[in-house]
């Protein structure tokens, strides 16, 4: 109910922003983009999503070979599409990834462990990228008077990321949630019956962090590179909108758009909030509101395109009866 309300508010906000700025200048700005610029703008996200799939692949260990990169890419796109298009969000999309992995011989416990590990590692890389963007923003805008505010925000983000990581390491998501529910006097039969599986999943996650440190660091680096590559899209959009842009500004804008989108997760698709946030962000860097909303709408069109591709992947994966691959043999 609340998600529907937030969606309606977001849509109204988006319509209000467009009418406030005016449809004609927005259409004029978009008309500057021909087929070639649009293709160039779309290309960076192929690299981004490919790196994210590869980062997830690293958390699968020996099971990764049985799935294959292209299949893993398709599974990830299908899961992310469910994340952004349904009220269930991550509660629906992440388990779906594990379910689809099961069809390729990955046990459900191992699949969920890899999904959680990849999401945690990705979040840690996201925090590091946002910190980089914040630092660059205050340097570019010469906001010395807001130095301490920037420091507190940065430390807060870093503490959140590290705290999340430590929680997964020490307590585990499964048993942590189950213990919290029990403490609150809530008993869910679905979870209570699966206590053994939750303990096994938490153990698998802890072993990844403790026994695969080099792989963990490579995964963090891969996800950080994926976030960083969004800079290419930001640069391309602003370049083809025929406005001044430099590399440092592009990096900062890319990082802060990640922050804006992550902070509006409670609104389905971040509709309205994302467009408003992006517009205000670009205006703070000295761009016009027309450039800001055009930038936001171009990114929204890119998201819609990838949602369509994700739906295609989902239909393809669900429409085939895929035989399970044999489980890998553990080395002696």
> pLDDT per residue over 255-273, tens digit each?
988 888 876 666 666 676 7
Q: What is the largest CA-CA distance in the chain?
A: 68
- Taking 90 as the threshold, does the pLDDT of residue 225 lie above it? yes
| C-alpha dist (Å) from residue 158 to 161, 213, 245, 266 | 5, 20, 28, 21
Rounded distance between C-alpha atoms, residue 279 and residue 204, angstroms: 43
pTM score, two decimals?
Answer: 0.81
- Taking 80 as the threshold, does the pLDDT of residue 14 lie above it? no
**51-81 core/surface letters (b: 16 or more CB in 10 A; e: else):** bbbbbbbbbbbebbebbeeebbbbbbbbbbb
Rounded distance between C-alpha atoms, residue 246 and residue 327, angstroms: 49
Per DSSP, 249 falls in state H
| C-alpha dist (Å) from residue 142 to 80, 146, 241 | 37, 9, 25
Give percent above pLDDT 90 in the chain: 21
CB-neighbour burial class of residue 199 (10 A; exposed 0-12, middle 13-18, buried 19+): middle
Rounded distance between C-alpha atoms, residue 136 and residue 150, angstroms: 11
- Taking 80 as the threshold, does the pLDDT of residue 251 lie above it? yes
Does residue 332 belong to any structural domain of this protein? Answer: no
Provide the residue range defining the domain that includes 115: 2-14+23-318
* Tokens coding 101: 């992995």
Does residue 207 belong to any structural domain of this protein? Answer: yes
The number of folded domains in the chain is: 1
Does residue 6 belong to any structural domain of this protein? Answer: yes
For residues 58 and 215, is the Cβ–Cβ distance under 8 A?
A: yes
Phi and psi at 135, nearest 5°, equal -60, -45
Chain centre to alpha carbon of residue 217: 19
Does residue 324 belong to any structural domain of this protein? Answer: no
Q: Which residues contact 115 (CB under 8 A, 6 or more apart)?
A: 56, 94, 95, 97, 98
Higher confidence at residue 167 or residue 248? Answer: 248
| C-alpha dist (Å) from residue 190 to 111, 197, 198, 283 | 19, 12, 11, 49
**298-332 core/surface letters (b: 16 or more CB in 10 A; e: else):** bbbebbeebbeebeebbeebeeeeeeeeeeeeeee
**What was the pLDDT predicted at 324?**
43
Does residue 77 belong to any structural domain of this protein? Answer: yes
pLDDT confidence band for 61 (50 / 70 / 90)? confident
pLDDT confidence band for 53 (50 / 70 / 90)? very high
Question: Which of 3, 7, 50, 33 has its CA nearest to residue 297?
Answer: 33
The runs of H, that is alpha helices, within the chain are 2-21, 23-30, 35-60, 64-67, 69-85, 90-102, 108-140, 147-170, 173-183, 189-192, 195-211, 213-240, 247-263, 273-284, 289-318
Does residue 141 belong to any structural domain of this protein? Answer: yes
């Amino acid at each position: 109910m609340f998600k529907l309300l937030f969606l309606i508010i977001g849509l109204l906000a988006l319509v209000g922003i467009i009418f406030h700025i005016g449809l004609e200048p927005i259409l004029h700005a978009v008309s500057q983009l021909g087929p070639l610029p649009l293709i160039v703008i779309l290309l960076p996200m192929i690299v981004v999503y490919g790196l994210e799939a590869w980062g997830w692949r690293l958390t699968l260990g020996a099971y990764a070979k049985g799935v294959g990169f292209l299949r893993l890419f398709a599974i990830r796109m299908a899961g992310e599409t469910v994340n952004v298009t349904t009220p269930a969000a991550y509660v629906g999309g992440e388990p779906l990834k594990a379910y689809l992995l099961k069809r390729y011989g990955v046990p459900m416990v191992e699949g969920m462990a890899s999904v959680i590990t990849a999401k945690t590692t990705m979040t840690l890389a996201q925090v590091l990228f946002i910190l980089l963007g914040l630092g660059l923003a205050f340097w570019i805008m010469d906001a010395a008077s807001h130095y301490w505010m920037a420091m507190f925000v940065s430390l807060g983000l870093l503490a959140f990321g590290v705290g999340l990581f430590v929680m997964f390491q020490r307590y585990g998501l499964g048993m942590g949630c189950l213990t919290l529910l029990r403490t609150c006097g809530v008993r869910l039969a679905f979870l209570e019956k699966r206590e053994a599986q939750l303990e096994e999943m938490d153990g698998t996650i802890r072993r990844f962090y403790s026994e695969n440190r080099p792989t963990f660091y490579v995964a963090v680096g891969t996800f950080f590179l994926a976030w960083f590559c969004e800079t290419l899209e930001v640069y391309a959009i602003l370049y083809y909108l025929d406005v001044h842009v430099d590399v440092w500004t592009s990096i900062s804008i890319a990082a802060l758009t990640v922050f804006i989108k992550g902070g509006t997760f409670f609104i389905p698709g971040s509709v309205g909030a994302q467009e408003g946030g992006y517009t205000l962000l670009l205006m703070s860097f000295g761009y016009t509101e027309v450039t800001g909303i055009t930038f936001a709408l171009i990114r929204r069109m890119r998201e819609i395109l990838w949602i369509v591709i994700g739906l295609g992947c989902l239909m393809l994966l669900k429409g085939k009866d895929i035989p399970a691959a044999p489980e890998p043999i553990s080395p002696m």
